[in-house]
Amino acid sequence: MEHAVKRNLFLFVPAKIIAVLGSSIYSFAIGLYILSQTGSALNFSITLLMGSIPRIVLSPLAGTVADRFDRKKIIILTDFACAAWLGIVFALFTFVTKEIWLLYLATAVLTSLNTFYSTAVTSTIYNMVGPDHLQKAMSLNQTAVSLSNILGPVLGGALFGLFPVNSFMAINVAAFTISGIFSLFINYHLFAEKKEKRESNGFFHDLKEGFTYVKNESFIKNIVFFAIGLNFWFAAAPIALPYIVMVVRKMPSYQLGIIEGAFSVGTLLLAIILSVRPEIKRKDRAILGGVAGMSVTIILFGLPSLPAAAGISNSFIFIYMIILALIMSSLGMVINMPIFVLLQKKTPDELRGRVMSLLEAGAGGMMPIGLVLFGFLFEKVPSWLLMGVSGGCVLLLVAYHVYKRTFATHLEEEPKPEKKAVPAHSGT
């Protein structure tokens, strides 16, 4: 069994790196192309929306699909579907039209397919590696994502001036194809429980069942609402950072790029550390302590915009921001890893896709709302005040959950005896 787990990880990690790296290079190059052709920030923002709205809308449906059908088949089909779709876009862009709307459409369809892919992957990691290697597998998964997010803009920027934009489509076609081939040989059902056949009540009944389960399970419901609140208040950070660096402090753009890159570096470092250390035991302390630390970090991010900080050199502020970015992204891993491990373990396999997708949809859905609201407020209210209010509200949220023992109560319960895992006899 140990050998089978190692084999799964040996195939899974490079497949993930290749798929995410190809997408990261492609997305960066497409963004640069749209900016260079139109010179419009609005057109660029439309690309960002096409990359986020389909995920928010389709996540609940993707979770239901992942629970109703074979997740391995979903993973493989969506990998090859992404490759086929980009092949079509490549042909249209090369021989038919170079209109920007085609790139918007390409992004929207890719995001839709990737929503079904990522939901299936997330909900089957437990079955792929079992409970003892769950934190390691999820940390390696995040390592692959972070590494790709660091390398993608670097490679995309370096290659953009050397090759036409349709070359990046071809690169992504190859990446999705290779990822799909790797997935053919991964045993995604190694620790899957034997499911009793039950009469299907229809797709929308299953979708409703997922909402009902989350509503009735107080622990999971608290996790979902906790994530929604955090994502709303933390939406101030991605607006505040460029605003403070570029507008308030008038620092050069390359320094902003380095500071933003530090977020991926911090995530990568913590993901590597968590992949080799034992599973976090006091998950309630990790979650709430990490969130409290992030709230303080958000407040500290706003300090360079104080009038009293005007005399401090930008060289010092640059280093200060990099350190905060490393701390904040590291704390994000400390929070997210226990949450996802808990959800994987506490959610029945037949509901795992719906639960994970509802968490993503709820938390992700608040981000655009927060971005719009804070984008408006940063024009009216001092940055340091908005960051202080955001961090303070998150601290109040943490205090509420500590007082109510929301997480500790459930974590102190005796875990239910796990059913014996049934190893699969084939690579299906």
Write the CATH number for 263. 1.20.1250.20
Q: Indicate whether 215 and 173 sit together in one domain.
A: no
**CA 84 vs CA 88, 171, 320: distances in Å:** 6, 13, 45
Q: Indicate whether 229 and 131 sit together in one domain.
A: no
Q: Indicate whether 341 and 231 sit together in one domain.
A: yes
Q: Indicate whether 186 and 286 sit together in one domain.
A: no
Domain membership of residue 421 (yes or no) is no
* 8 Å CB contact between 128 and 187: yes
Range 94-110 average pLDDT: 88
Residue that is last in its domain, among 158, 193, 228: 193
Q: Which helix (H) or strand (E) holds 394?
A: helix 383-404
**pLDDT grade, residue 39 (50/70/90)?**
low
Q: Indicate whether 230 and 98 sit together in one domain.
A: no
Top-confidence range, 151-165, 218-232, 293-307, 338-352:
293-307
Q: Indicate whether 380 and 349 sit together in one domain.
A: yes
Is the pTM higher than 0.75? The answer reads no
Q: Indicate whether 129 and 233 sit together in one domain.
A: no
Q: Indicate whether 259 and 185 sit together in one domain.
A: no
Q: Of 251, 253, 271, 273, whose CA–CA distance to 261 is shortest? A: 253
* 8 Å CB contact between 67 and 353: yes
**CA 2 vs CA 128, 130, 183, 191, 230: distances in Å:** 11, 10, 19, 12, 37
Cα of 159 vs its chain's centroid, Å: 26
Q: Indicate whether 108 and 251 sit together in one domain.
A: no
What gap in Å lies between CA 371 and CA 366, rounded to an integer? 9
Q: Indicate whether 183 and 253 sit together in one domain.
A: no
Range 142-168 average pLDDT: 79
What gap in Å lies between CA 246 and CA 118, rounded to an integer? 34
Query: Dihedral of CA 387/391/393/394: which sign?
Result: positive
Domain membership of residue 351 (yes or no) is yes
Domain membership of residue 419 (yes or no) is no
Count how many domains the chain has: 2
Residue 195 DSSP SS3: coil
* 8 Å CB contact between 148 and 156: no
Give me the percent of the chain exceeding a pLDDT of 70.
Answer: 89
Top-confidence range, 43-47, 151-155, 320-324:
320-324
Q: Long-range contacts made by residues 399-403, C-beta under 8 angstroms, separation at least 24?
A: 401/222, 401/226, 401/288, 402/288
Q: Of 295, 48, 264, whose CA–CA distance to 144 is shortest? A: 264
Range of the domain at 364: 203-414
277 DSSP assignment: S
